[in-house]
Every structure is written in C-alpha cells, then in structure tokens.
A and B are shown apart, each in its own frame.
Chain A
Amino acid sequence: MGYKKLLLGDEAVAQGALDAGISGGYAYPGTPSTEILEYIQEAPLARQRDIHRQWSSNEKTAYEEALGMAYAGKRALVCMKHVGVNVAADAFVNSAITGIRGGLVLAVADDPSMHSSQNEQDSRYYAKFARIPLLEPSNQPEAYRMTRYAFGLSEQLKLPVMIRLVTRLAHSRGDVHIQEESLENDLNPVSDKRRFNLLPLNARVNYQRLLSKQDVIRKTAEKSVYNKIEKTEDKSLGVICSGLGFNYLLENFEGHNCPYSIYRINHYPLLEDKLREFGSSCEKLLLLEEGDALIEEKVRDLFGPEKTIMGRLDGTLPRAGELNPDLVAEALEIKEKQVYENPENLPSRPPALCAGCPHSDTFEFLNETLENYPGNRVFSDIGCYTLGALEPYEAIDTCVDMGASITMAKGAADSGLETALAVLGDSTFTHSGMTGLLDAVYEDSAITVLILDNATTAMTGGQDSTGKGQLENICRGLGVSDEHLHVLKPIKPEHEKNCTVLKNELEFDGVSVLIVRRPCIQI
C-alpha cells in the first residue's frame, strides 16, 4: 500500500498528522510554518472527515483549542513559527503539567538565519523547559513518519510532543512515501476533575507526575529508531548531529560514506550516558546542529576543557545562522576550491511593497502629516507594512513582536512623548493588539492607532483573518469613542482628507483609532 508524493517538509508534517487520524489542525500563520495548516485545509481527507482546519486568532488560542480537543480524547495538531511559541508559552508549558488524553503534537518551524523573522530562537529549549519529548526530522520522509509516530508517543506518555522543523526543511520539497491513514479517536473527555484544574494543590501533584515520567521519556528516546550511533574504524573524529546537520555531513562524502563515527540525535531529551559513551570512543568531536548550541553545551559540560570539541561555541562553525554543506565542509577541512567567485559588490535586492499596495498610500499620508510633528514616533508591528521601515518611506520606528505597536506607543505616551502613533495590520490587531488597546482606553492614553485593514493576512500569503468585518465593533466594544473612530480609504483622491483626519486626531488628547481600509492587491 501507499504512494509517492513530492511534499514540503511542512506538508509532510500535515500529511503525517492527517494520516495519524487528527480531528483538528490549529494554527496562526507564520513563516515558515504556514503551509502546514494550508495543506490540511486543502486535503481531501480533511474535507471527507470534516476535521477542524480554520485559522485561530493567535498561537495561544490555537494551542488552547488544540489542548481542548486533546482533553476531549481526540488527536490535535497545532502549528506555529518559533516566535509563536512565545505567545503560546503559557498554555504550552502548563499542558505538560496537565498532560493530555488524545494525542497532542506541536509542530514548530524555526527560522535560523532569520529569513522571515525577528530572531532565530531555538525551540528545542522550549521542549527541554517544559520537560516533554521533541522530535527533529532530517528530511521530508522522516517528517511524515515522525509526525505519525509523535501522536502515538504523545498518547503513550500522556504528554504533548514537539516536532521541530527549520526553514530549509519546512520549505524544501522531497519525495515522501505515504501510507494508509488511521482512524480518528472517539470522543472520550477527561473525567478526573483534578487533572486539568491546576490549583496549586493539584498542580503540585501533577508536577510530581511529570517529573516521575522523565525516566520513561528518556527510555523511549533510548529505544527510538530516530537516534542512531554508527561507529567506524576511524577514531580520530566523532560527529554528533541532529536534524539537517546529518544531511550536510553526508553531502560531503562520495556515496554518503562518511569515514567517521556518527551519533544522530533526532529524538530528545539528550541521553547523557550515550553522549558520554560515544564521546569517549572518539578523539575529537564535531557538533552539527541547526540553531543554537544545545547539544554542544551539554557535551562540553560532560567532557570539560580537555576534550577537543568543535562546533558553534569554539568558532569552528558560525555562532549564528543556518548550516549548509559548505560550512560543514570547512569544519571538516575538506572544502574544495570553488571554480567561480561571485562578482564583488552586487547590489542587494530587499523585498518591497507591491506596486499598488494600499500601505503605500497610507505611508504617503502618514509621512506628509507627520512632517508637522517633529519628535513623533511611529510604533509599528509585524506584517507587510513593516517594509515601510525601508526606503522610500522610512515611515516606522519600531517592529518588535506581534501587537507591540499599541502597547509601546502607550508606554511612550505615558513617559511624556507627545506624538505617539501605532501602525499595525488587521490580523496583527486581532492577534495581540486588542488587549493593548483596552489598556490605552482604560487610561485614556494620548495615542493614535492606525489599523491597516487589507482584509487578509498578507505577508504569509493571504490567510483569512479572524477579525474580518468586525474591526469597528471590536474597537467600539473596547471603549473607543465613535467620535474618534474613523474609517479611511488609502487612495490618491482621498489623500488630503486622510491627512486632515489624521492631523485632527493627533491633536486629540486621548485614544483615536483610524481603520485604514483597502483590500490587499494580491487577493
């Protein structure tokens, strides 16, 4: 049985989850994780079974909804980018304390080299922090098989399991052998009332249970087919690799015949005994891991300064950024000379707003109006409009994390900054902007908020936004007065009018919201 299909790493996770019998996929879009739920939304099996596949408002709501499904006994997949885990962290960490009933798998896509992100934090630390197992596929077929395996593991351990991808796997296609799908779980909600009530008296008991599970968690990692030691005659070097590090190692040897012993770690937690045993059997060690130096730190702790350990911490590999076959070749000192050099001083080509983008017109009237307000600051957020930081507009001063525009503007206004503006998109507003706006209304802060409503989540490719058609109601509901709530259209003929409305609201000593509305030209 089965067939072959060319799938992105993201899609392989989605297909694996579908075939594992999930009853729901939950996510907020974020590069490079977006394609996981998108694939589920288009999958015939998902339609046939009518499993849940709508976008959530943010990663925290997505995680909690998935947790609710797992509470009810069914299998759920929740997906996000690495920084999304920061948003979902409260639910995530505590779901390890409650445990789960139906399988719960969190698929996280990290972005080393920050292709589309504000940092390159390594999600493996989160799995360690929450004391749950983590699986890290090296290729697309593994992403498929591991996801299926993760649901079984999750139910066996009664814990959420994390799958960690990186951009180069998430957004790379490979051929995957697809197997027959499993059935969904029956509805079977938790009945023990103490289990999910994390009152301190219950939480203490549950936390002890999580701690006592650590032995079993380690044993499953010990037996896992995804951790492998392959020893060779050559004892001069041992290579410890995880995820894509393994691929880049093999790439450098004809026929993939690496002369050195290899310890592949794709199923965490780390096993001290195995690391000690493997490390002792080789003179030197080389660590190949994507992201931070999680394994390397452990190995250095185990062996101390006497052992030669090469990796990201001693400069053998760069401290930041993703690995590639060339960096690994250099680390192995087998880099061949290139035939061609790149021409020097080629100009870079950064991304830019599309021609005809509504945000361009917004930045036009924003910049013109603000010319009369020296000392102004525009606190912005994460989305296509972040490109307004670049030439030709250079219209925004900050972009930190989802929703930080409104709250940072408020904080700056609190400190006495006179002209504090917030600029954020419709989807970012419903993700994390609403609660900040409530803070501002509560204190009657002197800020002017521009919600750029393009009716979609544009940067990630045009996903539905949960607040579509509701923005005015949401703002009113949060207490913004009708008098200071405006809807503007960012088009050339309305330019003067838009400048005037903005100017008037900048003069107002309280919360104003301008919903600047024109659909994205890509939808």
Chain B
Amino acid sequence: MKYDLLLAGVGGQGILTLSAILGKAALAENFHVKQSEVHGMAQRGGAVVSHFRMSENRIASDLIPTGKADLILALEPLEGLRYLSYLKENGWMISASSELKNIKTYPETSFLHDKIKNVPNHLIVDGATIARENGLRRAQNIAMLAVAGPLLPLDKIKLKNSIADFFNSKGEDIIQKNLDVFDSGYQKGFSEIKK
C-alpha cells in the first residue's frame, strides 16, 4: 500500500491541522509517513500546500512527484487547481466549494468548476455548510477531510481517534462537535464517491 495525498488551501484554513491528524492516524496503522508542510511567511493568508505520503514501505522523497498524487484535497477551489499537475491518472480531486477571495484577480467560479470537472474523479462539496450545520463554523477543514475519508487507506475509527487527540486540550464539547462534523462529512463523501 502506498497513498499520496496533496492538501491545498490558504494560510489559516487549517491545512496543517489536517496534516497532523492524518499523520497520527497513519502512524496508528503502522504506516511509514512523510509529510511536508509550509511554515513561516506563506501562512499569512498565502497559498499553503502540504504533501502527505503514507506507505507500508519506506518512503524516499518528502515531496510527491508530479503525476503521482492519488488525491488532491483542496479547502479552496483555486488552490486545488494550482497543484493539478500532481494528480495521477484516475486520481481524485476533491474541493470545497467556498471561495476565499483575498486577491484582486480571483477567477470566475465557472472557470474553476469547469477545470475541476475535467478530472473524471472529482467532487465539489460545500464543506463549510457541513461544518456550520454541526455547530462548528470553522471546521470546514475537518468536514473536507471526512468527505475524502472513504478513499483513504485509514481506518475510520483511527481517524476519529486522531481528531479527538488533536483537539484534546480544547475540551469535550469541541471534540464532540468535530467528530459530528466528521461523521456528516464522511457520510456525504461515502454517498457521493459511490456515484
């Protein structure tokens, strides 16, 4: 088993949180893990990407080669497209629908959606609403991770344990709400991916 996943978004959207959650879950599966992040200046509202790799065997490169990613998980449609060249044949492009327009020249929604729909295996999901409906407005990242959940070689329980672990210091209420967001997202992903 070898699975390469590219997480894309904007600084502040919670890409690093997702990497950390995935990392713990993958380690619980006894996989080798490599997870490359962007820290520092770019985190201030700039484009942020994380390369996440897990495998039963040792992984050589911290970076995914282009054309090799099994999944691009984007918290923002423009940011997902920025890394399209990394996607492999039959790979999945899953993007949140909500757009973060902190730049002047943001493309038209139709342009972005057309490009995403060119990928045979794609989903555009309103993760923000899934998060809001479960009482956690800021948890779009968890919702989107959950949507992609059924594709990942990670046990659902282990993913949930990892989420609970990550938010451990924030108290029971926040943990439970995140898990609720996860369950809704996972169900959404499961039914959409089956189609």
Quick check: A172 and B66 within 8 Å, CB to CB? Answer: no
| Bound Cα distance A247, B64 (Å) | 11
Quick check: A174 and B34 within 8 Å, CB to CB? Answer: yes
Would you give the shortest CB distance from A60 to chain B, in whole angstroms?
A: 22
The one of A338, A342, A346, A352 that contacts B102, using a Cβ cutoff of 8 Å: A352
Quick check: B60 and A384 within 8 Å, CB to CB? Answer: no
Quick check: A351 and B60 within 8 Å, CB to CB? Answer: no
Q: List CB contacts (< 8 Å) of A296-346 with chain B.
A: 324-326, 329, 336-343, 346
| Bound Cα distance A393, B47 (Å) | 20
* Contact string against A for B residues 71-91, beta-carbon threshold 8 Å, 1 for contact and 0 otherwise: 000000011011111011101
| Bound Cα distance A32, B43 (Å) | 13
> Is A503 an interface residue, CB under 8 A from the partner?
no
Residues of chain A within 8 A (CB-CB) of B39 are: 31-32, 34-35, 116, 171, 461
A460 (CB) vs chain B CBs: closest residue:
B40
Quick check: A338 and B115 within 8 Å, CB to CB? Answer: no
The interface residues of chain A, by DSSP majority, are classed as loop
Quick check: A251 and B23 within 8 Å, CB to CB? Answer: no
Quick check: A347 and B103 within 8 Å, CB to CB? Answer: yes
Residues of chain B within 8 A (CB-CB) of A256 are: 58, 60
Quick check: A251 and B61 within 8 Å, CB to CB? Answer: yes
> Is B37 an interface residue, CB under 8 A from the partner?
yes
Quick check: B40 and A173 within 8 Å, CB to CB? Answer: no
Would you give the shortest CB distance from B8 to chain A, in whole angstroms?
A: 11
Q: List CB contacts (< 8 Å) of B79-130 with chain A.
A: 79, 81-85, 87-89, 91, 102-107, 115, 119
Would you give the shortest CB distance from A256 to chain B, in whole angstroms?
A: 6
Quick check: B85 and A338 within 8 Å, CB to CB? Answer: yes
Would you give the shortest CB distance from B149 to chain A, in whole angstroms?
A: 20
The one of B44, B61, B63, B64 that contacts A387, using a Cβ cutoff of 8 Å: B44
Quick check: A352 and B46 within 8 Å, CB to CB? Answer: yes
Quick check: A343 and B84 within 8 Å, CB to CB? Answer: yes
**Contacts A115-B42, A346-B78, A349-B47 given; does A339 touch B88 at CB 8 Å:** yes
| Bound Cα distance A459, B45 (Å) | 12
Quick check: B62 and A172 within 8 Å, CB to CB? Answer: yes
> Is B135 an interface residue, CB under 8 A from the partner?
no
A138 (CB) vs chain B CBs: closest residue:
B60
B67 (CB) vs chain A CBs: closest residue:
A338
Quick check: B41 and A349 within 8 Å, CB to CB? Answer: no
Residues of chain B within 8 A (CB-CB) of A169 are: 62
**Contacts A173-B23, A174-B33 given; does A351 touch B88 at CB 8 Å:** no
Residues of chain A within 8 A (CB-CB) of B59 are: 174
> Is B185 an interface residue, CB under 8 A from the partner?
no
Residues of chain B within 8 A (CB-CB) of A348 are: 47, 103
**Contacts A171-B38, A347-B107, A354-B44 given; does A340 touch B24 at CB 8 Å:** no
Quick check: A342 and B81 within 8 Å, CB to CB? Answer: yes
> Is A493 an interface residue, CB under 8 A from the partner?
no
| Bound Cα distance A183, B5 (Å) | 41
Quick check: A351 and B41 within 8 Å, CB to CB? Answer: yes
Residues of chain B within 8 A (CB-CB) of A171 are: 36-39
> Is B10 an interface residue, CB under 8 A from the partner?
yes
**Contacts A6-B33, A175-B27 given; does A342 touch B61 at CB 8 Å:** no
Quick check: A173 and B33 within 8 Å, CB to CB? Answer: yes
> Is A353 an interface residue, CB under 8 A from the partner?
yes
Residues of chain A within 8 A (CB-CB) of B45 are: 349, 351-354
Residues of chain B within 8 A (CB-CB) of A248 are: 60-61, 63
Would you give the shortest CB distance from A380 to chain B, in whole angstroms?
A: 15
Quick check: B115 and A172 within 8 Å, CB to CB? Answer: no
Quick check: B27 and A339 within 8 Å, CB to CB? Answer: no
B76 (CB) vs chain A CBs: closest residue:
A349
> Is A168 an interface residue, CB under 8 A from the partner?
yes
Quick check: B43 and A247 within 8 Å, CB to CB? Answer: no
Would you give the shortest CB distance from A302 to chain B, in whole angstroms?
A: 28
Quick check: B60 and A251 within 8 Å, CB to CB? Answer: yes
The one of B65, B67, B105 that contacts A347, using a Cβ cutoff of 8 Å: B105
| Bound Cα distance A337, B37 (Å) | 26
Residues of chain B within 8 A (CB-CB) of A349 are: 10, 45-47, 78-79, 102-103
Would you give the shortest CB distance from B181 to chain A, in whole angstroms?
A: 24
| Bound Cα distance A339, B85 (Å) | 7
Residues of chain A within 8 A (CB-CB) of B79 are: 349
> Is A389 an interface residue, CB under 8 A from the partner?
no
Would you give the shortest CB distance from A358 to chain B, in whole angstroms?
A: 14
Would you give the shortest CB distance from A389 to chain B, in whole angstroms?
A: 12
* Contact string against B for A residues 265-281, beta-carbon threshold 8 Å, 1 for contact and 0 otherwise: 00000000000000000
Q: List CB contacts (< 8 Å) of B129-146 with chain A.
A: none
The one of A32, A324, A337 that contacts B63, using a Cβ cutoff of 8 Å: A324
> Is A2 an interface residue, CB under 8 A from the partner?
no
Q: Can you pick out 5 interface pairs between chain A and chain B where the beta carbons lie within 8 Å of each other?
A: A32-B39, A340-B84, A348-B47, A348-B103, A349-B102
Q: Using CB atoms and an 8 Å cutoff, list the residues of chain B in contact with chain A.
A: 10-11, 19, 23-24, 27, 32-47, 51, 58-67, 78-79, 81-85, 87-89, 91, 102-107, 115, 119
Q: Using CB atoms and an 8 Å cutoff, list the residues of chain A in contact with chain B.
A: 4, 6, 8, 31-32, 34-35, 115-116, 139, 168-169, 171-175, 244, 246-252, 256, 324-326, 329, 336-343, 346-354, 384, 387, 391, 459-461
Shortest 9 CB-CB distances between A and B: which pairs? Answer: A31-B40, A116-B40, A351-B46, A251-B61, A325-B65, A250-B60, A172-B62, A172-B36, A351-B44
